[in-house]
Amino acid sequence: MTPNEYISENYEHLQQSAKNISGNHPLALESLHYAIEEFLGKKNVLDIVDSGGATFYIVAILLKCWRSRTSAFYRKYLAPSNELYDTSEETEEDYTEELYSLAIKKLDGLHWYDKMLFQTFVDEGHTISSLSRATGIPRTSVSLTINRVRKYLQAELKKSL
């Protein structure tokens, strides 16, 4: 069976799968066509159809389209439509500023060493290894401290929000 024959015979089933995955979103059919196009572009499309895995493959592409915010479909179709329907007054930048201010306040509750090491890590854009080299503190100690502060901040921010 050719890929086109497979798609023709199974189109209704694939269409229903797209509707189920998208929650019957208006762009469900568009996502199915995107998935079919991506599927047909594969070099081994004949092998996939012959093995009986075409439905699984197309459904996997559909899932990626809807669940991954980094997928090309999401960036092209879903992200712009989400921006159109966003009625909130607070922008993402405002929210980030608020979180940053809150995190800075929570850092005041830490030991000076943890606070200074974490602030240097964030403010100067270091990696754990580069911070270790810059400060002369062993990498393991830097890593443990940074991870401990991260967990502390995550827990504190969850409480506050």
Q: Give pLDDT tens digits for 28-48.
A: 888 888 888 888 888 888 888
pLDDT at 1: 83
Q: Are 152 and 115 in contact (CB under 8 A)?
A: no
Higher pLDDT, 23 or 92: 23
Classify residue 143 as exposed, middle or buried by CB count within 10 Å of its CB (0-12, 13-18, 19+): middle
pLDDT of residue 16 exceeding 50, the answer is yes
pLDDT at 87: 45
pLDDT at 92: 53
Higher pLDDT, 95 or 115: 115
Quote the tokens at residue 161: 């929000």
Burial per residue of 119-137, b for 16 or more beta-carbon CB atoms within 10 angstroms, e otherwise: eebeeeebebeebbeeeee
* Residue 136, SS3 per DSSP: coil
Query: In this structure, which amino acid lies at residue 84?
Result: L
Mean pLDDT value across residues 63-85 = 70
CATH number (1.10.10, 1.10.1740, 2.60.40, 1.10.760) of 92-160 reads 1.10.10
pTM, to two decimals:
0.48
